[in-house]
Amino acid sequence: MAVALQAPTHLAPVQGIRLSTCAAGIRYRERDDLLLIDAGPDAAVAALFTRNAFCAAPVQVAREHLAKGRARWLLINAGNANAGTGRAGLEAARATCAALGRTLDAPAEAVLPFSTGVIGEPLPVDRIEAALPALAARLDPDGWMAAARAIMTTDTVLKGASRTIALDGGTVTLTGIAKGSGMIHPDMATMLAFLGTDARLDADLFQELLAAAAECSFNAITVDGDTSTNDALFGIASGASGVTVQTVTDRDRFAQALNALCLELAEAIVRDGEGATKFVRVTVRAARDRDEARRVAEAVALSPLVKTALFASDPNWGRILAAVGRAGVEEFRIEEVQVTVNGVGIVSEGGRAPGYTEEAGQQAFGEAELDIVIDLARGGAEYRKYTCDFSYDYVRINADYRS
């Protein structure tokens, strides 16, 4: 059960971008599992991919095709990751691009493949090829909701969001979809996300803005500390509105909207974490620098003992202290650390905070959403991490995933 997360009822179309879905029977039955996105002929694109050394075949091929500067078509399948498949996997990814190119009378290099699902299984190229004519015939600007459903795997809730932004030259739209629930951690978490805007953007600027947005959203979430072989964040700026992001003011407005959209989607991934019953923000304040704050936040957010205590609503705050203590902070002064949970003072001066009661702690840890704030009293840097608890269902979901 996702934590305070509801699927959107509508996602705004983006001028110049069309989408279509169909059921190809790749792994799932009686549901769409194949998505095609047409970025348009003049789109600027931006992309971030997994840093996992065992990156999947579609990631390798997508990078190769992007480098040739002709990207227009995105072909995404769910249910099969085409990862850990060696040379055959690369050939399969290239074959799907070539097949779509023939269907659309487009160069294979204009197609970028994306896959998500089970690792180590051969990609059923024949099923994908058979579905391509119908997929190409259904392209529709209003296809974002169906697209968000088609890319789901262990997700329980469709994830998408839209924004409109007033710029100096007019109004532009931003819409994004994402999938992800487990194997979530920085360096693109385990997720796919596709964002579209009808703004006109320089490609280099778009890449810069998307990377900055990911840093405080998709790269600030963790469910279980595992990254995947297939992660990708892809942005499309069709330019179809005719409104250019040009001035400093426009850039700031667009960046704010992009950041907010990415954070909404990233939070949705954590709220729908496999088996999650709690949504948790871990904020580290007054660190010497951002890296120090990040290391402390990650130590707490990744701790299985902290996460299982959160699931049990057990105010076992000693686990938080232990995680902070092993984060590798140099010249650490435990007597200066303060910890609060949902505003309840838990720790100060190296021990239990004056006035703390077990009843207050129990109430704080029992909430479905928790804000854990750790003040190191060492400087002015801050970092926030988004995570969830570990429940029995996390083990069940991952034990049963391939069955």
247 is catalytic: no
Question: Residues 368, 226: one domain?
Answer: no
* Number of folded domains that form the chain: 2
Q: Which of 236, 271, 306 is the last residue of a domain?
A: 271
Read off the amino acid at residue 255.
A
Q: Would the pLDDT of 182 be above 60?
A: no
- Indicate which CATH number applies to the domain containing 213: 3.60.70.12
Question: Residues 110, 67: one domain?
Answer: yes
d(CA 190, CA 260): 20
- The answer to whether residue 1 is domain-embedded is no
Query: How many C-beta atoms lie closer than 10 Å to residue 29's C-beta?
Result: 9
- The answer to whether residue 2 is domain-embedded is no
**50-99 per-position pLDDT tens digit:** 877 788 999 999 999 999 998 999 999 999 999 999 999 999 999 999 99
Using pLDDT thresholds of 50, 70 and 90, give the confidence band for residue 278: very high
Lookup result for tokens 């990415």: 262
Catalytic residue among 96, 153, 175, 190: 190
Residues of the chain by 3-state class (helix, strand, coil), percent to 5: 35, 25, 40
pLDDT of amino acid 187 = 57
Phi, psi of 29, rounded to the nearest 5 degrees = -115, 140
Question: Residues 34, 125: one domain?
Answer: yes
pLDDT above 70: percentage of residues in the chain: 95
**E strand or H helix at 205, and its extent?**
helix 203-215
- The answer to whether residue 335 is domain-embedded is yes
Tell me which residue range forms the domain holding 341.
Answer: 279-400
**339-380 per-position pLDDT tens digit:** 999 999 999 988 899 999 999 999 999 999 999 999 999 999
d(CA 185, CA 254): 26
Q: Cα–chain-centroid distance for residue 75? A: 18
**104-147 per-position pLDDT tens digit:** 999 999 999 999 988 899 999 999 999 999 999 999 999 999 99
Closest CA to 173 of 11, 8, 10, 14: 14
Q: Would the pLDDT of 162 be above 50?
A: yes
Question: Residues 79, 163: one domain?
Answer: yes
pTM: 0.94
β-bridge partners, 381? 287
Ramachandran region, residue 184 (left: φ > 0; alpha: ψ -120 to 50; beta: rest)? beta
Average pLDDT on 188-216 reads 91
Do residues 247 and 201 lie in contact, with contact meaning Cβ atoms separated by under 8 Å? Answer: no
